[in-house]
Structure 1
Amino acid sequence: MDHAASQRAQDVLADQLPAPIRRLADIAFDYGWSWRPEGEALWRSVDPELWDACGRNPVRLLRLAAPAALARAAADPALRAAMDRLADALDAARAAPARATPAGTRDAPVAFLCAEYAIHASLPIYSGGLGVLAGDLLKEASDRAVPLVAVGLLYRRGYFHQRLDPSGLQHEYWTVVPPQQLPLERAVDAAGAPVAIEVPLRGHAVHAAVWRAQVGAVPLYLLDSDVPENAPIDRFVTSQLYVGDREYRLMQYALLGVGAVRALAALGIRPGVFHLNEGHPALAALELARDALARGETLERAVGEVRRRIVFTTHTPVAAGNETYAPADVVSVLGPWLRTLGIEPAAALALGRPPGTSDDAPFGMTDLALRTSRAANGVSRRHAEVSRELWARHWPGLPAAEVPIAAVTNGVHLPTWMAEPMRALLARHLGPEWTAHPEDPARWAGVEELPDEELWAVRCRLRADLVAFARARSISDRLARGEPIAYVERADRAFDPAVLTVGFARRVASYKRLHLLVADPARALALLAGPHPMQVVMAGKAHPRDEGAKAIVQRIFELKGEPNVAERVVYLEDHDMEMARKLVAGCDVWVNLPRPPQEASGTSGMKAALNGGLDLSVLDGWWCEAFDGRNGWAIRSEPGPDEAAQDARDAAALYDLLEREVVPLFYDRDAAGVPRAWLRQVKASLQSIGPRFITARTLEDYVAHVYSP
């Protein structure tokens, strides 16, 4: 499509490198390296300290590396051989013929539109689960040669960085990363000219450059309004992910939806299917209707034509999480653009609310997506049930059970989230063909026969790696907070590689109920002590405007002076994708405590399970369909009008499970020091969760049941 432009950037970078290692520039501009086992090792071998210091950004690494380091790399035959193998593999993946599917072709691919993407920590345009799911689907589409292109926004300030003070209060700061320092290239059209688009917002044109990130065989196009043609206010539109100001967010959503359609057209790409991942890009439907409206079709007929090309995934199971806008605010931002379509704003506004609603009712992005798509789905079976009830008003007279919102349960990208020691163990015992179709349960049958000693050795290694990481990060975090030196020194003794390790790391929001871990301080502290203790690692960011969530983290910090807490409890700051990979790999038990039914799916527990961790979760989201009584533990949370009483019941159930089942099972060892019963549960978890909750299965569901006409 525009590979030549990327090649120019690679050539510029390659010219700065010694001749024997110039193929490193090719690898640097393809994020396909990031989910191959040899990728991280290759970059680290160039300059390990600089690799960490530059945020694991290969373009910055190669530009900042000292001539002596590059010369050493060029003289290393093992490095050059690894470079050639990886470069050849990435070239082959990009050149592979697109898979023939009813959903799309190379000439008419699936266009995936989303507000955030978690591809790698060096591309900070994500905040949480929505972005991780999007990034994982792009990687899986590359692995499976599914013809897909993606469009998002380039947030130069990204999502915020987190710093906690000694009380646990969160402070936010942002850093600006110019696109020239990222593995990005300006997208160009067929004539080789850089592509730029404009969208009328607030009565004038807002311009955007189009950048491209290569995600294996999948191009990800990112729109950037920080260009000289724009006024300062308009340059800020794409600067920050989920900016707090509502008018700015509406402008972001307009640029995402309308801009995506215009950018793809400028690139000569004519998608067969548009996948709106959450309601943010829903305005794409009206932009797509432009041609039919220009032919004189009515809005109803134009939307009918467009509907055949749009599918929609909703991710938010509570009404308050689906943004709506007053009609006057929509007209203020979007009115001139709507009139360029040849329709009055009132006609478009009617599509953003349920049928029969009054003209002054709010306009909703999710409502618009539901009304302009031919297929809609939730991200777990339970979430689909909740969504059918939540959005039933769009199908008046239809029982909620018959509302056409299906379920495609989320999964995670196995090569990204399964740590290499576990991958190597399974490859040895399940055979070389195991990773070809990991969604096939038969491929996992051999897990039952894994030698306990080998499985336990892998788990101990992953836990030890996490302990080393947690110690180092705890020391730096506590020093940066200005903690007393004695408290900092205790971080150096934090965690024991032989102790049961429990993890809780995700976006901090009130409904996720992190506070249940310390709801009964006496019981919580007792679990940290004694001959069979546990240790806890926590991480997560609260939204900058969510004061209630910030207070939850402070409750955790209130216990930091209690016995054993400084050594056996850590809260790691600035949770990101790189940290998440270490946490889900090393924890023995992964805890999730959402208030049902507010967890649409959740995916962190899936990642932990792929690494031999066991889930202890409230029955909500994906865990409702995953838990079978043998593969982890479940809390049956009973909703009611008294949330405090519900919290007390669920906290008591959590402590009961930890005290009576989890801790005793982990420390029940035979003469060889192996916890046989624990490992039986680990194997049950791998076999039941492994094939079902990975993007290999998720993408196949989308191709077969959603994308196909």
Structure 2
Amino acid sequence: MSDSPVLPERIAGLHDLATDLWWVWHRDAREVFRRLDYKVWRLTAHNPVRMLRLVAPERLAAAAADPAFLALYDEAMRQLQSARAGEQTWWAERSDMGRSRPIAYFSAEFALHQSLPIYAGGLGVLAGDHCKEASDLGLPFVGVGFMYPQGYFHQSVTADGWQEEIYEQINWENAATQPARAADGSELVIAVPLGNRTVLVSVWQVKLGGISLYLMDTNLPENAPWDRELSARLYGGDRETRVQQEIILGIGGVRILRALGYEPAVWHLNEGHAGFVVLERIRELLEQGRSFEEAHEEVRRTTVFTTHTPVPAGHDAFPFHMVETHLAGCWGGLGAHREDFLALGRYDNGSGTLFNMTALAMRSAAGVNAVSQLHGEVTREMWAPLIEELPRQDEPVKAVTNGVHLTNWLSLELTRTLDKYLPADWRAHHDDPAIWEAVRSIPDEVLWETREKMRSYMYNFVRERIRERWVRENIAPPRVLAGGTFLGQHALTIGFARRMTMYKRPDLIFHDPDRLARLLNDPKRPVQIVFAGKAHPADEGGKHALQGIYRRALDPRFGGRIAFVEDYDLHVAHYLVQGCDVWLNNPRKPLEASGTSGMKAAANGVLNVSIGDGWWPEGFAGGNGWLIDPGVEHGDPSAQDAADADALYRLLENEVVPAFYDRDDHDVPHRWVGMVKESIRTVAPQFCTRRMLKEYVERMYMPAFEHSMGKGK
């Protein structure tokens, strides 16, 4: 790869724009790079950092002399500087607390852009959207996580359908990252005691407009080889590795913020992985002379905890000896509080008494929330014994339903249509339901043409993607066929794209293969299904389910109307949630805590067909999608699968397919388009991160803010 070209002085800010991931969700900024060199933009999968290393010098010179390009560039740079200043934002207008005491947000993964693959699934996507909205609202905010030099794996599927994991070292030259700097300008490195040794941690900064993320990496030559691997991969290794990672995330994360001069007013733990934050903060206060009880109460009143996991086995828990061994170096001379520390995590979730990270976080947070109303009920029931011992609150576990960062996930095509029919300031107020009433005024033929274009973009993307892999990698013909070669551009397209794991029942629609084949192969009303998703490397059940789908894609009985798109990531997700006609979600209830892919799809006019789990009981309004409801609940999982599959088939046969193909003389399906309008109108304002984050501020952050700021007066 060639060295980065020297940018013409007039557009020298392109490097600054490319290395601030704020551009990801701002149309003018994206358009700058599209217009600079569209072919290179496509070649690099929309990675402007890499793009600037490849674009020809003469193209840069031409852009620097093009008045239209310069006008767009100047406006993007103006918007970026405004975002960084945080002026005239929602927070600036409503708060007199300023930006000096931030919310510190800890998460094991962040999904920001496909060029930075440090995410595995929904938890990371939610965290990334949370951060983007924090920047938009002008919140004082800082994120803390891991860099993972090998990222999450790339997925490759063998000719017989078995998932293989490929790990690649992130090329820092092509990533929007930079070393974090200490006060003296040197690259920041912190030390984290771990067991009987010290692990050094380097820190990378990722800019997101008005906020920054700080990501940790142990891959330093000063560390032992096994310690260099601690941060290598997301969710890699055994339980011993996991507890060490979580100690570094929690304890190292606090030390990073101290070294950078941050004094957070609120500490938000996104899932139990970050629970050790509270131990480090308690340790600090003990060293200042506080009693353990005083220290714990101070930490509790400024800590917020979000749980995403609706099953006991999904919460990280470790043997006490393992925790004690690895925390020994952090405790130092505070060994007298050993029992106090361990008691904060002590809990039996049915597998014996262990050090449970969720129990640690719940005992140490004044604000605890689940991520949907139904998940709130499940969480309160699951943790009832622990809740009984917590300080009494009206809402011991609140429910703040997840949302999606709307301006990031809405398709460009739909956005152009909305610009014509919604109020001019709809982006600034997109969490206001009244704004979206104007969707009803969009002519059916206009919205249908928009949706047809969105499907065609997805269709072309899927086919071009598999063609390129065939040419580039000489993949086996079965993979070419399974990748979507025979998909039709105008057929009703069902999407199922999410983590491949058994509780999500990715193979439920194959419960009666003959019935499904008849549905897919109707010559007058064809249907096709596009699958995508990765199974966790250790999830054998998920891998077998994926293999089963792949083999169905090769089965002539289904006529090439089933496709599996390999290596699902944010880039693929954008095309699928925008371009499918139906979004299928059929988890085993109540194991879906929230689910955000369906929100993205619904806001784009993709109609949900879903079990009443996670967010859908709140989102389903009768005319904006369909509820898979067999009318019975079975204790036997096999019987429930059969009942749910039958209900799904009946919906598709009797309602979904007829509505899609019921056309007028101009080939417009008015009944379908009416539901598309209802989907956009009802879901977009209610299930966006703007509504979600404002709710976090009001219900979760403000008590901690008020305590922190009052303490400082």
Normalised TM-score (structure 2):
0.93
Aligned position for 1:193: 186
Aligned to 2:237, which of 221, 236, 244?
244
Q: Give 2:128's aligned residue.
A: 135
SS class of match (1:560): helix
What is the aligned counterpart of 1:86 among 76, 79, 86? 76
Per the TM alignment, residue 296 of structure 1 is displaced from its structure 2 partner at its CA by 3.0
1:462 touches 1:585 (CA, 8 Å); kept in 2?
yes
User: Structure 2 counterpart of 1:571, which letter?
Assistant: F
Structure 1 residue 340, shift from structure 2 partner: 4.9
Seen in structure 2, the aligned counterparts of structure 1 residues 343 and 464 have a Cα distance that, compared at 3 Å, is: farther
Identity %: 45
Q: Choose from 368, 371, 382 the match for 1:379.
A: 371
Determine if contact 2:177/2:204 at 8 Å carries over to the other structure.
yes
Alignment map for 1:284-363 (pairs within 5 Å): 284-341=277-334, 343-354=336-347, 361-363=353-355
Aligned counterpart, 1:9: none
- Tell whether the 8 Å contact from 1:470 to 1:570 is kept in structure 2 after alignment: no
Tell me the secondary structure at the aligned position of residue 398 of structure 2: strand
CA separation in 2, counterparts of 1:47 and 1:441? 38
2:489 partner SS: coil
Instruction: Give the Cα–Cα distance (whole angstroms) in 1 for the partners of residues 62 and 84 of structure 2.
Output: 30
Deviations 1:396-449 (A, max 9, x none): 389999761010000000111000111121121111111111111111111122
Query: How far 1:606 moved relative to its partner?
Result: 0.5
Query: Aligned in 2, Cα 1:490/1:176: closer, same or farther, shift over 3 Å?
Result: closer
Equivalent residue, structure 2, for 1:632: 625
Secondary structure in 2 matching 1:502: strand
- Mapping of residues 19-38 of structure 1, within 5 Å: 19-38=9-28
2:554·2:560 contact (CA, 8 Å) conserved in 1? no
The residue number in structure 2 matching 1:659 is: 653
Show the counterpart of 1:674.
Answer: 668
| One-letter identity of the residue aligned with 2:671 | A
Does 1:145 find its partner at 2:135?
no
**Which of 680, 685, 695 does residue 691 from structure 1 map onto?**
685
Q: Which residues in structure 2 correspond to 1:386-401 (within 5 Å)?
A: 386-396=378-388
Secondary structure of the 1:191 match is coil
Which deviates more, 698-707 or 444-453?
444-453
Q: Which amino acid aligns with 2:540?
A: E
Identify the residue that residue 502 of structure 2 maps to in structure 1: 510
Q: 1:103 touches 1:272 (CA, 8 Å); kept in 2? A: no
Query: Who is 1:10 aligned against?
Result: none
For 2:531, give the aligned amino acid.
Answer: M
Note the residue ranges of structure 2 that are not aligned, 5 or more in a row.
704-713
Q: Offset at 1:631?
A: 1.1
Give the aligned partner of residue 404 of structure 1: 396
Amino acid at match of 1:58: P
Aligned-partner residue type, residue 45 of structure 1: R
Give the superposition deviation at 1:228. Answer: 2.3
Q: 2:126·2:402 contact (CA, 8 Å) conserved in 1?
A: yes
> Could you tell me how far apart the structure 1 residues matched to 2:528 and 2:190 are?
52
Per mean C-alpha deviation after superposition, the further-off stretch among 289-298 and 576-585 is 289-298
| 1:388-467 → structure 2 map (5 Å cutoff) | 388-396=380-388, 404-467=396-459
Give the counterpart of 2:698 among 682, 698, 704: 704
Deviations 1:12-37 (A, max 9, x none): x9982232321111101211111112
Q: Contact between 1:294 and 1:342, CA under 8 Å: does it hold in 2?
A: no
The residue number in structure 2 matching 1:8 is none
The aligned counterpart of 2:592 is: 599
Any idea what SS the aligned residue of 1:338 has?
helix
Q: Separation in 1 of the partners of 2:129 and 2:282?
A: 30
Q: Distance in 2 between matches of 1:583 and 1:567?
A: 18
Task: Give 1:586's aligned amino acid.
Answer: G
Within the candidate set 116, 128, 140, 2:109 is matched to: 116
The 2-side partners of 1:152 and 1:684 are apart by 38
Alpha-carbon distance in 2 for matches of 1:103, 1:281:
30
Q: How far apart in 1 are the matches of 2:302 and 2:345?
A: 18
Q: How does 1:8-27 map to 2 (within 5 A)?
A: 16-27=6-17
Cα offset for 1:126?
A: 0.6
CA shift, 1:196, in A, is: 1.8
> How far is 1:183 from its partner?
1.2
Contact kept? 1:30, 1:213, Cα under 8 Å: yes
The answer for the alignment partner of 1:497 in structure 2 is 489
Structure 2 matches for 1:169-318, cutoff 5 A? 169-318=162-311
- Verify the 8 A CA contact 1:293 1:342 in the aligned structure 2: no
2-structure distance, mates of 1:695, 1:359: 36
Which range moves more in the overlay, 585-594 or 239-248? 239-248
Distance change in 2, residues 1:450/1:402 (3 Å): same
SS in 2 for 1:205: strand
Aligned length: 695
> Gaps spanning 5+ residues in structure 1: where?
1-12
Deviation at 1:488, TM superposition (A): 4.0
Question: Aligned-pair RMSD on alpha carbons?
Answer: 2.5
Which residue does the alignment assign to 2:707?
none
| Residue-by-residue CA offset, 1:567-607 (whole Å, 9 max, x unaligned) | 32210000000110010000110000110110000000100
Q: 1:51 aligns with which of 41, 51, 60?
A: 41
Q: CA deviation at 1:527?
A: 1.6
